[in-house]
Amino acid sequence: MQHASTVDIMKNIIILAILSLFLFSCGSAPPKYTRANLGAANTQTEQIALYNSLKAELAANPKSSNAASYQQLMGELGRKLGSEEAEKILQTVHAAQVSSGLAPLNVLNEAETNAEPIRIWSGSTYTALIGDLRQSRVATEGALSEEQTLLGSLSGDANMVRRVQTLGRISDLYGDNAQAEQVYDTTFNDARDSLSTSAELAMQSSDFEMALYSYQSLKNLDPAFPGIDQRIVSAQSGIESSDFRQLLLEGNIEGAYASFLQLSSRPMSPAEKAEFLGSASNLAEYFSSSAGSMVRTGRYRRLMC
């Protein structure tokens, strides 16, 4: 009887030992992912893959003994991914800023789309980033509203260049917007052609002041317009030649001579040179006539001076 009792006790001990081993093995399964995996994931692609693996493991075994450590690893990895991606997005927005320091709308739209993965990785990082992007959007939309109001007030040929410049700023603030670009390009080309034609007609009619105004406006609009600097010089020479001839007609010999010296110091095209030589001939004739008159009337002192 005592022997049977001893055997039963031994059986119970063996059963308990087996159960303990079973329970121990179930409760302390080695983790599939550790901090070492986190440190080994060097690229964004590797980090995203690890994040997704942790997420899948938690979804499959939400109550496993490793769930808490997996959740912690996911949180750290998500914050890292979110922070790095947010920084890249903000750098892209900053690099695309126009001269006014504002970000174009198309860049902001793209940034908000690219920010979506951050919502999953780190909610707080996403919220902060979207706040920054929306603040930039408010500033850009406010500037657009002001520019469009200004555009509406610019009418007539006198405001042609300012209108084109305003349209250029509007196009920049929209960014990659085909309609805004088309309006700007059409207006720019029309204004450039109009100013060029106006200047050429003014030169042909010897209205050099109007030609100079048109050429200078054209340069403000399109600094790369072919030969624009020489055209401006030609208009300025025309004005000075006209002033020179007017001084001769008025008998202002000192003023005419000063004007003549100024003209002679300018670089000249062949056509301008021919016109200058004509003016020089006029001046020589004037000197000759004045000298002859002085000799005839005995005003030698003035002649010698």
Give me 146's structure tokens. Answer: 């002001």
Give me 93's structure tokens. Answer: 């927005």
- Does 227 or 24 have the greater pLDDT score? 227
Token pair 């000063």 is found at 258
Give me 183's structure tokens. Answer: 């309006």
Rounded-to-integer distance, Cα 305 and Cα 302, Å: 5
What mean pLDDT comes out for the span 227-251? Answer: 80
Q: Using CB atoms within 10 A of its CB, is residue 61 exposed (0-12), middle (13-18) or buried (19+)?
A: middle
pLDDT, one tens digit per residue, over 100-115 is 999 999 999 999 999 9
- Whether pLDDT at 136 is above 80: yes
pLDDT at residue 299, as a whole number: 44
Rounded-to-integer distance, Cα 119 and Cα 257, Å: 79
pLDDT at residue 281, as a whole number: 63
Spell 261-296 as b/e; 16+ CB within 10 A means b.
Answer: eebeeeebeeebeebbeebeebbeebeeeeeeeeee
Please give the backbone phi and psi of residue 207, each rounded to the nearest 5 degrees, phi first.
-90, 75
- Does 161 or 93 have the greater pLDDT score? 93
DSSP for 93-113 reads HHHT--TTSPPPHHHHHHHHH
Token pair 């930039």 is found at 136
Q: Are 172 and 106 in contact (CB under 8 A)?
A: no
- Does 300 or 179 have the greater pLDDT score? 179
Contacts of 148 (CB under 8 A, 6+ apart): 170
pLDDT confidence of 78, banded at 50, 70, 90? very high
pLDDT at residue 90, as a whole number: 97
Residue 70 carries which side chain, given as an amino acid letter? Y
State the DSSP code for 32: S
- Whether pLDDT at 45 is above 90: yes
- Does 240 or 196 have the greater pLDDT score? 196
- Whether pLDDT at 295 is above 50: no
Question: Which of 260, 250, 253, 243 is closest to 286 using CA atoms?
Answer: 253
Question: Which of 72, 75, 90, 84 is closest to 44 using CA atoms?
Answer: 84
Q: Are 187 and 163 in contact (CB under 8 A)?
A: yes
Question: Which of 36, 21, 46 is closest to 69 using CA atoms?
Answer: 36
Neighbours of 203 (CB within 10 A): 19
Residue 71 carries which side chain, given as an amino acid letter? Q
Up-side HSE of residue 176: CA atoms within 13 Å toward CB? 6
- Whether pLDDT at 12 is above 50: yes
Ranked by mean pLDDT, the top range of 95-99, 201-205, 230-234 is 95-99
Please state, in angstroms and as integers, the Cα–Cα distance from residue 105 to each residue in 97, 109, 140, 141, 176, following that order. 10, 6, 7, 8, 8
Instruction: Please write down the long-range contacts of 148-156, taking CB distance under 8 Å and 24 or more positions apart.
Output: none
pTM score of the predicted model: 0.62
Token pair 């093995």 is found at 25
* 3-state SS assignment for residue 251: coil
pLDDT at residue 304, as a whole number: 43
Distance of CA 254 to the CA centre of its chain: 53
Rounded-to-integer distance, Cα 187 and Cα 179, Å: 12
